[in-house]
A and B are shown apart, each in its own frame.
Chain A
Amino acid sequence: MDLITGGAYQGKRTYAMKHFSVSEEDIFCCSEDAPCDFTAGCIDHLENYVLYCVKNHLEPAMDFRSDAVLIGRDISCGVVPTDPLIRRYREVYGRYLQTLAARCDSVTRMFCGLPQKLK
C-alpha cells in the first residue's frame, strides 16, 4: 500500500496518476454518506470515509488491497474545531492515518504540487 497525503488542492491525485500509474477508472472517491469500496485500486478522500464512520459510530477499517494507492487530505493544522463531531473526526482521522502510514510501503506528502518522501 502507498499513502499520499498533504493539504487540500496540493496535487495528490495528479501525483497518484502520474507516479503510480493510476487511471480515472481505478479511483474510488469516498463520500461522508456511504461506505468505502475496499476493492478499488486507488481510494481518494479517505478523510471522507473516516467522517462517514465517525458520523455513524463505526470503527474505520483498513481492508485495502495490498497494492492499493491511498489518498487522504491532511486536516490536522487548524484551530481545534468548535463542532464536537468535527473535533472527534479530526482526532479519529489523525490516529487512523498514523496507523495506516505505519502499514504502508511508502508515504508521500504533497506540497504545492511537489512530492516530499516521508517513508
Chain B
Amino acid sequence: MIVFISGGSKSGKSSLAEDLAVKLAGDATRWYIATMVPHDEEDRQRIRKHIASRSGKGFITLESADADPSIAIGREKDTFLLDSVTALLSNRMFRNDYSVDPECGKKTTEALLQLAGRVNNIVFVSDYIYADAENYGELTEEYRRNLALIDQALANAAGLVIEMTGSFPIVHKGELL
C-alpha cells in the first residue's frame, strides 16, 4: 500500500507516518529512508530530534539522498517510510555546481513510483508549501512546481492520502488505518 501524507510544518506528519508504517509493516522489517543531507548544526539538531522521536518504533535507518529504486532490492516484502519528499527533491534538483535539473520533478516522480511498485508498503511525507502570498522568485517557483508534480502523482497512486493540520488528520482518500 502507498500512503501519502502532507501538511504544514510541525503538524504531526512524521509521527503519524511512523505510526502508520509500524501498523502496515506488522512483523516485516521497517526501513526509514533518511533523505536529509545536513548542512549545519540546525540540520543536525533536527535530525537528532527525528531519530529520538522514532526510536523504539523499530525502524532501521537507510541513508539515501536520492531514494534510488535500487534500495528496494532484497527488501520487497518490507515497509518503507520516506520523510521527506521535499528534502529529496532539493537533493535531486539543486546540484553541487549550482545548476538545476529542469526535468527533476518528472524523474523523481518516476523513481518514487518505481520504488513504491517494488515494495510491500511505503509511506511518503511531503510538505504543503503552496498557500502563501509571497513572491519567491523563479527558482523557488520551479521548485514548488516540481514538488507539486510529485505530490499529485503520489496522491494519485496512493490508497490513503492524509493532510495533517494541528496534529489532526484530514483524510482526502481511503480510510485511516
Contacts and interface: CB of A to CB of B under 8 A. Distances in A.
B148 A8 contact: yes
Contact of B148 (A10, A78, A116): A10
Interface residues of B, number: 25
A75 B133 contact: yes
A78 B134 contact: yes
Given A112-B155, A113-B155, A75 B6 contact: no
A89 B149 CA distance: 28
Interface in A60-78: 73-78
B152 interface: yes
What's the interface size class on A, roughly? 20 to 34
A58 interface: no
Interface string B37-48: 000000000000
Interface stretch (B66-74, B75-83, B112-120, B124-132): B124-132
Interface in B121-156: 128-135, 144-145, 148-149, 151-152, 154-156
B131 A8 contact: yes
Main DSSP-derived SS at the A contact region: loop
B4 A78 contact: no
Interface in B28-42: none
A13 interface: no
Contact of A78 (B133, B149, B170, B173): B133
B144 A9 contact: yes
Contacts of A89: 133
Contacts of A79: 132, 134
Interface of B: 4, 6, 8, 128-135, 144-145, 148-149, 151-152, 154-156, 161, 163, 170, 172-173
17 contacts: A7-B128, A7-B129, A7-B131, A8-B130, A8-B131, A8-B144, A9-B149, A77-B8, A78-B133, A86-B134, A89-B133, A90-B133, A112-B6, A112-B155, A112-B161, A116-B170, A116-B172
The 4 A-B pairs at the shortest CB distance, nearest first, are namely: A78-B132, A7-B130, A9-B148, A113-B152
